[in-house]
């Protein structure tokens, strides 16, 4: 039996706004096993972002349980959540969120600064290795403004990888990119998945979801559909199939 990375039981999240209570998540249950590539889909207002915040340990559920790599998230305080984010989760954001005027290498090193057990040499070594794995080894002294959007997102992925997390959590990671670059990023994600990384990818684009192994559809705070993707599309092939003129 494969190891469960995530275990969610009847997860609920409510927001109190004035005298109104908004139910963003109305009881969600699913697990994610090690090595899965899951896309979470849903239209605007479906509770996608709320679920992502909880999965990323940025927010806590109002009710129900969430276990990440065997740790019950609900019982943790603010600082413990920060520690969990540092060691177990690698975030990739839509807007990259790289530090401006800071080299790619220093950006990738950043999560390791918040991990006391890692020495300065190890930090640099791991950052370089991480950049190599996203094929940006020769660019590590470039600042974000000297990199293209796709390259910036690859730096962000390298940053997510550097702490060797149990799960990469991507939030619309291809949202700011053109089709070709999106496919390149997805190809990289597939490659990392093939190496055994667990990936949770939040998106609203169905063609991106086709690259994953499993899709969870959210609607109105509930799971509408949870299906295994039997014919996973290869991003490399999709990239080869793109017409040359698309390259603008």
Partner 1 sequence: MSIINLLKIAFRALKRNKLRAFLTMLGIIIGVAAVIAMMAIGEGSKQSIRSSLSGMGSNMITIMPQSNEPGGVRLQGSSIQTLKMEDITAIQKLQSKNINGLSPVVSTSGQAIKGGYNWPTTITGVSPDYLNIRQLKLQDGILFSDTDVKRFAKVCLLGKTVIDNLFPDGSNPIGQIIRFKNIPFQVIGVLEPKGQSNFGQDQDDIILAPYTTVQKRITATTYLQSIYASATSEAASAAATTEISDAVRESHRLTPAEGDDFQVRTQAELINTISSTSSMLTVLLTAIAGISLFIGGIGIMNIMYVSVTERTREIGLRMSIGARGQDVLMQFLIEAILISVTGGVIGVLLGVTSAFLISYFLNWPILIAESSIVISFVVCAVTGVFFGYYPAKKASNLDPIDALRYE
Name which of 163 and 193 has its Cβ closer to partner 1: 163
Classified as helix, coil or strand, 231 is coil
- Does residue number 159 form part of the binding site for partner 1 (CB under 8 A)? yes
212: closest CA among 234, 196, 185?
234
Give the binding-site size for partner 1 (rule: CB under 8 A).
Answer: 28
- Of the candidate spans 9-17, 33-41, 108-116, 207-215, the one that interacts with partner 1 by CB under 8 A turns out to be 108-116
Q: Minimum CB separation from partner 1 for residue 93, in Å? A: 7
Name which of 76 and 239 has its Cβ closer to partner 1: 76
Which residues 51-70 are close enough to bind partner 1 by CB under 8 A?
53, 56, 58-59
Which residues 67-106 are close enough to bind partner 1 by CB under 8 A?
78-79, 82-83, 85-87, 91, 93, 95, 97, 99-102, 106
Q: Is 211 exposed, middle or buried (0-12, 13-18, 19+ CB in 10 A)?
A: buried
Taken in order 172, 176, 179, 183, is the CA torsion positive or negative? negative
161: closest CA among 195, 117, 184?
195
* Rounded distance between C-alpha atoms, residue 233 and residue 223, angstroms: 23
Q: Minimum CB separation from partner 1 for residue 225, in Å? A: 27
Q: Minimum CB separation from partner 1 for residue 98, in Å? A: 8
What DSSP letter does each residue of 40-89 carry, written as one string?
EEE-TTSSHHHHHHHHTTSS--SEEEEEETTEEGGG--HHHHHHHHHHHE
Binding site for partner 1 (CB under 8 A): 53, 56, 58-59, 78-79, 82-83, 85-87, 91, 93, 95, 97, 99-102, 106, 110-111, 113-116, 159, 163
């Amino acid at each position: 039996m494969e190891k469960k990375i995530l275990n969610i039981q009847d997860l609920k999240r409510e927001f109190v706004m004035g005298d109104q209570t908004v139910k963003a998540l109305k009881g969600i249950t699913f697990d994610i096993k090690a090595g899965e590539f899951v896309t979470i889909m849903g239209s605007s207002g479906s509770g996608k972002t709320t679920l992502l915040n909880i999965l990323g340990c940025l927010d806590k559920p109002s009710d129900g349980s969430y276990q990440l790599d065997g740790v019950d998230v609900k019982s943790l305080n603010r600082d413990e959540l920060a520690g969990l984010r540092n060691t177990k989760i690698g975030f990739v954001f839509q807007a990259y969120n790289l530090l401006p005027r800071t080299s790619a290498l220093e950006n990738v090193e950043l999560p390791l600064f918040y991990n006391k057990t890692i020495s300065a040499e190890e930090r640099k070594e791991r950052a370089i290795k991480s950049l190599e794995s996203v094929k940006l080894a020769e660019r590590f002294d470039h600042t974000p403004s000297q990199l293209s959007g796709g390259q910036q997102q690859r730096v962000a992925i390298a940053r997510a990888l550097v702490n060797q997390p149990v799960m990469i959590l991507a939030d619309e990671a291809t949202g700011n990119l053109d089709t070709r670059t999106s496919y390149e990023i997805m190809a990289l994600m597939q490659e990392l998945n093939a190496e055994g990384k667990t990936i949770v990818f939040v998106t609203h684009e169905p063609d991106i979801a086709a690259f994953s192994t499993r899709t969870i559809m959210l609607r109105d705070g509930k799971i509408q559909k949870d299906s295994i993707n039997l014919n996973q599309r290869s991003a490399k092939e999709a990239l080869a199939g793109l017409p040359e003129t698309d390259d603008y």
